Amino acid sequence: MTDQPAPGTEQLADPRHRERMAALSTEIHKAVVGQDAAVTSLVVALLCRGHVLLEGVPGVAKTLLVRSLAASLDVQMRRVQFTPDMMPGDVTGSLIYDNATSDLVFREGPVFTNLLLADEINRTPPKTQSALLEAMEERQVTVDGASRPLPEPFLVVATQNPIEFDGTYALPEAQLDRFLLKAVLPLPGREDELDVLRRHAAGFSTSDLAGAGLRAVADAASLHAAQEDVARVRAEDAVLQYIVEVCRATRRSPSLQLGVSPRGAIALLRTARAWAYLGGRDFITPDDVKTMAPATLSHRVRLTTEAELEGTQVAAVLAATLASVPVPR
């Protein structure tokens, strides 16, 4: 690799943009206790113009996390509770008859927003799940042959419960691959849970985020500027080769029947750039790749049947894969 400046000595285009993005985490934690990995995933996804899948049992602050992000970023948010009887038009919008004009007019669905919370996305049938595919990938909605652009910024945060299977529809690989990151929200530790109770005992209400002190520390313009800065973060060829070797190693793993695709490799490059940017650097290192690999790749691989029966965890397989790939010097 070519010589890189020492960490902390390089200058990004405008450090104020990065400071605003870093401040989002501080604001969110005024309402959300712990869940650092999930908070970081949301900020990284924003910087990469990607989407996030949140997985966790009920009551671990998934909805509160997304509402807090919207309040901290000063953007419009809409929430859709997915159900088995939901139709694609309930998400994207549909044509309705207007008595005043005697014509069909388009009524926008909840997807026309900046931050869409797709709550319990695995409770709706594949036909409705797929209605989000075009919106997530192309950032537009096509109804009756007409394409309509979605507002910017646009972020889909979907949630799913990992322990309930009755009446659910597992997300297919094609849709999972559209999510830049997957964040698992664990149950809080003892001290964090005690902190939650203390806050509620002191009068905290999840319906009054302003009362908790949350304020907008960034807006759409500052986010766009930060996204442009992230796109300029340098990636030396040796690091690109490292990303490729990590992804190729997943395809050779005996524990995986599905490895990471080239789209996954691109996603890992994007998230590593955002992580480096948040760290104040204008270049990525192998450590950035290692840090972002679990959240970026875990939902893009599938265990073999034998590995599942043996109780193998995807996280363990990815950790072993990363350990097996030589790190460039």
The pLDDT assigned to 4 comes to 46
d(CA 174, CA 40): 24
Q: Domain 15-232 belongs to what architecture?
A: 3-Layer(aba) Sandwich (3.40)
Domains of the chain by residue range: 15-232, 233-329
Q: Per CATH, which fold does 233-329 belong to?
A: Helicase, Ruva Protein; domain 3 (1.10.8)
The pLDDT assigned to 57 comes to 87
- List the chain residues with pLDDT less than 70: 1-13, 164-167
The pLDDT assigned to 175 comes to 80
The pLDDT assigned to 53 comes to 93
Convert the pLDDT of each residue in 216-244 to its tens digit.
Answer: 898 888 899 999 999 999 999 999 999 99
Convert the pLDDT of each residue in 107-118 to its tens digit.
Answer: 888 999 999 999
The pLDDT assigned to 167 comes to 62
